Structure 1
Amino acid sequence: MGSEEVKLLGAWASPFVHRVEWALKLKGIVYEDVEENLFNKSPLLLKYNPIHTKVPVLLHAGKSISESLVIIEYIDETWKQNPILPEDPFERANARFWAKFVDEEFMEAIRQALISEGEQQEKEVKQAIEALEIIEGELKSKQKFFGGEKIGFVDIVLGWVTAWLEVVEEVAGIKVFDSQKFPSFNNWMENFVETPIIKDKLPSRDKLVLYFHKIREFSLASPTIK
């Protein structure tokens, strides 16, 4: 199982794509990286993700899987080595809960703060800080990572903060993370980026700054795109 060709349709600046790359690297899976231009989407992307036309899309054995969390679970179930999700049903459910919390309560607030200003942006920053306080509380009882000594599902889902959060703060002129206020989160980030498969697969900070400046300018000029 799992020996067929694997392709990943992605975009270098997307944290969702990096999640999938980290999962593939963690499993030791050889794959072809297909870079998409999200401003000029390829026929391949439109064919394999016609509903959302977004990256990432994993192609495996002639089938396509979309949405980063779904893809990571597919990878974990297809290739059994180096498990990403816990085996215990309760722990698996708990990991899914925190992954959902990270995306819906924290990441979405950061995304909205990037593309807003004034009172709306202040509201999103407050929401992001409140979510980070909850994540900090959860991490206090953990070892190196959410799942213990090894990187697991929640770590991969939250891992975008290590390269993207500081860039968004700079571009949007906001402040969410403070290492003194969130020491457990700070330790977790340091452990995460020191892991070889992560360190080798982080995007250029300078390129991200330029990219997110474009996203912010474009979004503020087109207020309907939220």
Structure 2
Amino acid sequence: MAEELKVFRTWSSRFALRIIWALKLKGIEEYETIFEDITNKSPLLLQYNPVHKKVPVLVHNGKPISESLVILEYIDETWKHNPLLPEDPYERATARFWAKFGDEKTCTDEIDKVSDLYIDCHFKVEWKEQEEAIPQVMENLKYIEEQLKGNKFFGGETIGYTDIAFGWTANLLSVFEEVTGMKLLDEEKFPLLSAWMQNFSDVPVIKENWPPRDKLVIKYQATREKYLAAAAAGGPK
């Protein structure tokens, strides 16, 4: 009996993209993709993820798994070949720590007002409180930079769990730079992160599955215009 495998996602979700990368790196090609409209969520999505009501959701033989980092671990434990997490328990714990750190601290909690961390951080910098938070963001990036010393990828010479967790930055940062006109990652200050982004992007499985760049630019331009209009009207309440 063939396995049933479904991925609920949106075309631009960086969290859902993690799941696609993981499946591709595992060599899993047979799965159904269900694209969701987050403004009009399907009954199936609400059924499979009644708690958070968001993508991504992986459905494996009728059983739903939600939250992207949890799904990555499920994929790695279910399909053992081409492992994403290290075998050593300490190294596995370290990989989990930095993936969680990236999700929580790449941008600060104070500016996570609309759930999209980098968008809030870099599209709302006109507001004084966000401008004051930028130094902490840079400090957190320095911690991440340290993890790449001596390595091509976070886990060594091949893409793993932490790389997939951070992978969206290799594409979206340049999109944000184009939209905002700001340099968000200085290659001189972060040479290892800059090299990692290029190495990550050059892997065929990664390169072939980026969302269309022109659509991303249009999307985030609209997001920025909305925030700028709110700022002109007096900023967030």
TM-score (normalised: structure 1): 0.91
Name the CA distance, whole Å, in 2 between partners of 1:122 and 1:173. Answer: 15
Are 1:105 and 1:128, in contact at CA under 8 Å, matched by a contact in 2?
yes
Deviation at 1:168, TM superposition (A): 2.1
1:140 matches 2:154: no
Are 2:107 and 2:121, in contact at CA under 8 Å, matched by a contact in 1?
no
Deviation at 1:5, TM superposition (A): 1.1
Aligned to 1:184: 192
Q: Which amino acid aligns with 1:167?
A: V
Deviation at 1:221, TM superposition (A): 5.7
Name the CA distance, whole Å, in 1 between partners of 2:189 and 2:165. Answer: 22
1:193 matches 2:201: yes
Instruction: Report Cα offsets for 1:97-149 as digits up to 9, x if no partner.
Output: 110111111156523214523213313432322111111122123x2111111
1:216/1:45 Cα in 2 relative to 1: closer, same or farther (>3 Å)? farther
SS in 1 for 2:189: coil
Deviation at 1:199, TM superposition (A): 0.7
**Aligned pairs, number:** 223
Name the CA distance, whole Å, in 2 between partners of 1:90 and 1:101. Answer: 16
Deviation at 1:209, TM superposition (A): 1.0
RMSD of aligned C-alpha atoms?
A: 2.1
1:97 matches 2:97: yes
Instruction: Report Cα offsets for 1:63-115 as digits up to 9, x if no partner.
Output: 10000000000000001110000111000000001101111111565232145
Q: Which amino acid aligns with 1:5?
A: E
Deviation at 1:7, TM superposition (A): 0.5
Aligned to 1:120: 129
The 5-angstrom pairing of residues 148-187 of structure 1 reads: 148-187=156-195
Where structure 2 has 5 or more consecutive residues not aligned to the other structure, the ranges are 109-116
Aligned to 1:129: 138
Are 1:128 and 1:176, in contact at CA under 8 Å, matched by a contact in 2?
no
Name the CA distance, whole Å, in 1 between partners of 2:107 and 2:33. Answer: 25
Deviation at 1:171, TM superposition (A): 2.7
1:22 matches 2:14: no
1:48/1:218 Cα in 2 relative to 1: closer, same or farther (>3 Å)? farther
Where structure 1 has 5 or more consecutive residues not aligned to the other structure, the ranges are none
Are 2:19 and 2:71, in contact at CA under 8 Å, matched by a contact in 1?
yes
Are 1:110 and 1:125, in contact at CA under 8 Å, matched by a contact in 2?
no
Deviation at 1:175, TM superposition (A): 2.9
The answer to which of 109-118 and 188-197 deviates more is 109-118
1:3/1:125 Cα in 2 relative to 1: closer, same or farther (>3 Å)? farther
Instruction: Report Cα offsets for 1:33-72 as digits up to 9, x if no partner.
Output: 1111111111111111111111100011101000000000
1:40/1:219 Cα in 2 relative to 1: closer, same or farther (>3 Å)? farther
Q: Which amino acid aligns with 1:180?
A: E
Q: Which amino acid aligns with 2:52?
A: H
1:9/1:221 Cα in 2 relative to 1: closer, same or farther (>3 Å)? farther
Deviation at 1:202, TM superposition (A): 0.8
TM-score (normalised: structure 2): 0.87
Name the CA distance, whole Å, in 2 between partners of 1:31 and 1:69. Answer: 19
Are 1:8 and 1:59, in contact at CA under 8 Å, matched by a contact in 2?
yes
